[in-house]
Chain A
């Protein structure tokens, strides 16, 4: 199981309190994790990735193991510690006010 930490607004939208766990079949990648998140929480469709292009929304970042994965290929294998459940995959809203 992959641990996923969502921004507060998306936790509210998905009606979850803390990090979520998703089961990723096959190769554990960013794309597979987000596919699994959207399958389990359909209301999150379009909120992390653009519906039309599938691209990461520009004000969001993906972090794990103190690394920024935002610009890595979405089909690259996730870090072993994330796959093992020792570290979470973080979806982060850009630090901008408003």
Chain B
């Protein structure tokens, strides 16, 4: 019987939640790497037993862990992330130049075709790749070499490269997003990059529709339609139908268009999920009601999904990498909160159940659909 494995990164370790295809009864293992921040875990599409984890600490720096048995046991692999050449400067919060400094890995994206190849998005923003199973990591310097780097500025969480999307139809194409620089696309495997932010408007930067400087929180695609991208920006939910060349707003009737997490239904490319957050200064759901919003029209028209979610006195946040879907039918949707709850829906969002309630603050949620 098919099953799912939910990989949860938290402020104090990693947890692995597993269930069979009914998704009713869950086994919880962890904490793995107890006491460390685990920004992200993700499994390889080529070999689902191979799972990668970004383990990080303000005290002890960055560790990358690899499992070859689905997250039961782990081994540390290479953790040397050194920028290519002289890193130069980006903008600091006050607009002054600040040297590029490696802090941590925010996101690990395993290759769609090579089990030993993984991309890593890091803070300060850059893209690294391993092609030897994590033993060594090398920067793809073309991204920082885009020329706009001196105009990138950190968001509240730092200058982080937090989203990596691999295009299954075009192996040389990938999309990344940086807070606060914007979205970028490569069509040549990472050698050169194009800023894809036309149509975005952001307050808080001198030129609201500048080429770069936008605080993009998350982008997502459906693998069957990789030219269609959805974006949760700092404010505004956006859509592109031309692989990021242009964007238009699809916030529609959302109660607020601020938020972090966003994902696309596994089988319905026009069904999109977001979790509206009150504002950039109040990072919790409006009115104390935790609501996922679903659009079945590719944005614009949204419905609140509330069954099983707290509808009073709820003041958690849902961070950008903390929502994921499984590939079962009906599609499962999962998200984690800064209050330590991981909610799951085995009905595409119609009804929700807490899988766990009392984990440390959840930083990331990924799902593997197992045969």
Q: Which residues of A are found within 8 Å of B81, using beta-carbon distances?
A: 51
* Interface residues on chain B, size class: 10 to 19
Contact of A60 among B35, B59, B62, B82 (CB under 8 A): B59
Contact A46 B79 (CB under 8 A): yes
What residues on B are CB-neighbors of A10 within 8 Å? 60
Complex-state Cα separation, A7 to B35, whole angstroms: 12
- Contact, CB under 8 Å: A47 / B61: yes
> A73 near B: Cβ within 8 Å?
no
User: Given A9-B36, A51-B81 in contact, is the A46-B61 Cβ separation under 8 Å?
Assistant: yes
Residues 1 to 60 of chain A near chain B (Cβ within 8 Å): 7, 9-10, 12-13, 43, 45-48, 50-52, 57, 59-60
Q: Which of A12, A46, A50, A57 is close to B59, meaning CB atoms less than 8 Å apart?
A: A57
Interface residues of B in 43-93 (CB under 8 A from A): 57-63, 76, 79-83
Number of A-B contacts (CB under 8 A): 47
Chain A nearest CB, measured from B197 CB (Å): 30
Residue B26 interfacial (CB < 8 Å): no
Are B59 and A94 closer than 8 Å at their CB atoms?
yes
* Cα–Cα, bound, A46→B103 (Å): 12
Which residue on A lies nearest to B62, using beta carbons? A46
Separation in Å of the A12 CB from the closest CB of chain B? 8
Query: Cα distance A47–B61 when bound, in Å?
Result: 5
B63–A47 CB distance below 8 A: yes
Q: Are B80 and A57 in contact (CB under 8 A)?
A: no
Contacts of A7 in B (CB 8 A): 59-60
Q: How far is the CA of A16 from the CA of B79 in the complex (A)?
A: 20
Closest A residue, CB atoms, query B11: A98
A59 touches B62 (CB 8 A): no
Which residues on the A side are within 8 Å of B63 (C-beta)? 13, 43, 47
CB neighbours of B58 from chain A (8 A): 59, 98
Chain B residues, Cβ within 8 Å of A57: 59-61
Interface residues contributed by chain A, number (CB under 8 Å): 19
Q: Report whether A47 and B60 are in contact in the complex, using a CB–CB cutoff of 8 Å.
A: yes
Contacts of B83 in A (CB 8 A): 52
B77: nearest chain-A partner, CB-CB:
A43
Shortest Cβ distance from B265 into chain A, in angstroms? 37
A51 touches B80 (CB 8 A): yes
A93: chain B residues within 8 A (beta carbon): 59-60
B61 near A50 with CB under 8 A, answer yes
Max count, chain A CB within 10 A of own CB: residue among B57, B80, B82: B57
Interface positions of B from 16 to 36, Cβ below 8 Å from A: 34-36
> Which residues on B sit within 8 Å (CB–CB) of A9?
35-36, 57, 59-60
Per-position 1/0 for B95-107, Cβ under 8 A of A:
0000000100000
The contact sample of 15 A-B pairs, CB cut-off 8 A, is: A7-B60, A9-B36, A9-B60, A12-B34, A13-B76, A45-B80, A46-B62, A46-B79, A46-B80, A51-B79, A57-B59, A59-B58, A60-B60, A93-B59, A93-B60
* A residues at B contact (CB < 8 Å): 7, 9-10, 12-13, 43, 45-48, 50-52, 57, 59-60, 93-94, 98
A-B pairs, top 8 by smallest CB distance, nearest first, are A43-B76, A47-B60, A59-B59, A51-B80, A93-B59, A52-B82, A46-B79, A46-B61
Apart from A46-B79, A57-B61, A60-B60: 15 A-B pairs, beta carbons within 8 A: A7-B60, A9-B36, A9-B57, A9-B59, A13-B63, A46-B61, A46-B62, A46-B80, A47-B79, A48-B60, A50-B61, A59-B59, A93-B59, A94-B59, A98-B58
